[in-house]
Amino acid sequence: MLAYRNGDGTAFDVLYGRWRGPLYRYFLRQCGHSGHADELFQDVFMRVIGAATNYEPTARFSTWVFRIAHNRLVDHWRKLGREPVDPLPAGDIGDDREPAPPGPEDSAPDRQAESRELGVALMAALNELPEVQREAFLLAEEGGLTLEEIASISGVGRETIKSRLRYATAKLRNKLESWR
Amino acid sequence: MSEIDPKLSRLYREASSEGPPAALDAAILAAARKQIAKPQRRARSFWVRWMAPASALATLVVAVSIAFLVERERPETLDGTAIREVSPRPQSPPPAHITETTKPKAADSAAPAAAERKEAPAAADRATVEAASRKDAPAAAAPAARSAEPAPPAAQAFPAESRAKAITPETAARKTAAEPNVAGDSAIGRLGATAPAAPAAAGKLAPTRQHGIQRSPEAWLEEISRLKREGSDKEAAEQLAEFRKIYPAYAVPENLLK
């Protein structure tokens, strides 16, 4: 991004090639609509391009660009009259308990990983997650962000994100159990 | 991240291959290149936009500076009439009575009022010269000179010179007869023991300085210029040297300095 800010056009090509898929899938999974995903995706990268001249590396680029994406998504939801709902009970943050049911351990996903149907089932299960849990999962998987970075972007505590991720993982494994 | 099952994570990545449409890619990349090109074009346009006004401003500044310099130099080199302010004068004008006593020698440039005051001494001078040439008694001119009252304070201004010049009427008459060119000075010396000596002393000490005192600097320079035109370079040089003593800060035209 610094190279692009300094006038290196090819640097943006590399940057875009690196983050186009993760960012697009982030929007696609969150919106569930390719048209909205296209619009949001383009809008975020236009903001990135517009902010390039004043860009200062205060954080990793992934953190910066996914923060823009998160804010843009929140605006999109507000525009649609929706609010992301956190299904966690109040006070249930930072709970280190393993969410139930734990599922049949590692063997089931591993066995069926090659199955295309399993992938489709995973996407369907992901789509059924609450938005905040899905966002935490996507930010971790697509953005490769840490708990702290996800917490900073989402505006909640680190333990809350940790709890959301555990719930999300447990639900996904539970959904995929039927494919064993 | 330990919160996500690694196998679940691998499954997700294998199943996730979606990407934005190619048209969207092209649009974003084009926008990125356009954004890169903008600052360069902006920099060029900035220079192009300000080049003409900057050049005009620079030309104007140079022109005004030259005009200002020419305007400042003109009085000194071309006109010769403007006076640069001189402060403080190296030599203050002598008392009025000295000027009055020397007026007869510079009657051509003296003010009319001063000339009127000088009528009496001048008459005394003429009478003295005539008397000396006729070998008459020198005392004959004395009463007339005394009646003319030729500024006694001059003797007080130059007491030593007055004493040196204080000669008897007889010797003055003889000297006048022998040296008709300085008859005026000598005759004045016969006017009295003290007073008549002043004009002569003043006249002998600095005749050119008195020129400068009586005349304005411009008139004096004009006189010097006239002398040069007439070929009296030596006299002009003397006058100019005297002028520069009195008016050291006055800008003398260059044609007089050559």
Domain ranges (residues) in chain A: 2-80, 107-179
The fold of the A107-179 domain, in CATH, is: Arc Repressor Mutant, subunit A (1.10.10)
The CA radius of gyration of chain A, in Å to the nearest whole number, is: 18
- A104 prior amide bond cis, ω within 30: no
Residue B121 lies in a domain: yes
Amino acid letter for position B254: E
pLDDT at B149 over 70: no
pLDDT at A24 over 60: yes
Residues B175 and B219 in one domain: no
Question: What size, in residues, is chain B?
Answer: 258
Residues B193 and B164 in one domain: yes
Q: Is the dihedral of CA B128, B132, B138, B140 positive or negative?
A: negative
- Alpha carbons A167 and A136: distance in angstroms, whole number: 10
Task: Tell me if residue B232 falls in helix, strand or coil.
Answer: coil
Residue B241 lies in a domain: yes
Please report the pLDDT score of residue A95 as a whole number. Answer: 43
**Among A28, A49, A126, beta carbon nearest to B18:** A28
Do B109 and B219 contact (CB within 8 A), yes or no? yes
Please report the pLDDT score of residue B59 as a whole number. Answer: 95
Which residues on B lie below 8 Å from A165 (Cβ)? 1, 3-4
Judged by a CB distance cut-off of 8 A, whether residue B234 touches chain A is: no
Which residues on A lie below 8 Å from B30 (Cβ)? none
For chain A, give the secondary structure using H, E and C: CHHHHCCCHHHHHHHHHHHHHHHHHHHHHHHCCHHHHHHHHHHHHHHHHHCHHHCCCCCCHHHHHHHHHHHHHHHHHHHHCCCCCCCCCCCCCCCCCCCCCCCCCCHHHHHCCCCHHHHHHHHHHHHHCCHHHHHHHHHHHCCCCCHHHHHHHHCCCHHHHHHHHHHHHHHHHHHHHHHC
- Alpha carbons B241 and B246: distance in angstroms, whole number: 9
| pTM over the 0.80 mark | no
Please report the pLDDT score of residue A151 as a whole number. Answer: 93
Interface contact flag, B28 A42, Cβ < 8 Å: yes
Residue B235 lies in a domain: yes
Q: Is the dihedral of CA A127, A129, A132, A134 positive or negative?
A: negative
Residue B5 lies in a domain: no
Mean pLDDT confidence for B42-61? 82
Q: Which of residues 10-29 of B touch A (CB under 8 A)?
A: 10-21, 24-25, 27-29
Residue B162 lies in a domain: yes
Residue B199 lies in a domain: yes
Which residues on B lie below 8 Å from A19 (Cβ)? none
Residues B180 and B245 in one domain: no
Query: How many domains is chain B built from?
Result: 2
Residues B110 and B186 in one domain: yes
- Alpha carbons A21 and B19: distance in angstroms, whole number: 5
- Alpha carbons B79 and B16: distance in angstroms, whole number: 95
Judged by a CB distance cut-off of 8 A, whether residue B39 touches chain A is: yes
Residues B193 and B228 in one domain: no
**What's B190's DSSP letter?**
T
Residues B140 and B186 in one domain: yes
Interface contact flag, B29 A12, Cβ < 8 Å: yes
Residue range A99-123, pLDDT digits in tens: 444 444 445 555 555 667 888 888 8
Q: Within 10 Å of residue B69's Cβ, how many Cβ atoms?
A: 10
Give the residue from B171, B177, B207 showing the smallest Cα distance to B189.
B171
CATH 1.10.1740.10 fits A2-80, yes or no: yes
The range of the structural domain enclosing residue B82 comes to 59-88+215-258
Cα torsion at B234, B235, B241, B245 (round to 10°)?
160
Residue range B151-197, pLDDT digits in tens: 444 444 444 444 444 444 454 445 444 444 444 444 443 444 444 44
Residue range A113-164, pLDDT digits in tens: 566 788 888 888 888 899 899 999 999 999 889 999 999 998 999 999 999 9
Residues B196 and B230 in one domain: no
pLDDT at B75 over 90: no
Residues in CB range of B247: below 8 A, 6 or more apart: B86, B89, B212, B217
What is the complex's ipTM, to 2 decimals?
0.77
Residues B133 and B179 in one domain: yes
Residues B74 and B111 in one domain: no
Residues B154 and B106 in one domain: yes
Residues B121 and B196 in one domain: yes
Which residues on A lie below 8 Å from B43 (Cβ)? none
Residue B30 lies in a domain: no
Do B187 and B172 contact (CB within 8 A), yes or no? yes
Residue B35 lies in a domain: no
Do A48 and A5 contact (CB within 8 A), yes or no? no
Give the residue from B145, B147, B109 showing the smallest Cα distance to B127.
B145
Residue reference for tokens 């035209």: B253
**CA distance to partner chain B, nearest, from residue A81 (Å):** 26
Q: What is the DSSP string of B49-69?
A: HHHHHHHHHHHHHHHHHHHHH
**What's B79's DSSP letter?**
I
Residues B82 and B120 in one domain: no
Share of chain B above pLDDT 90, in %: 6
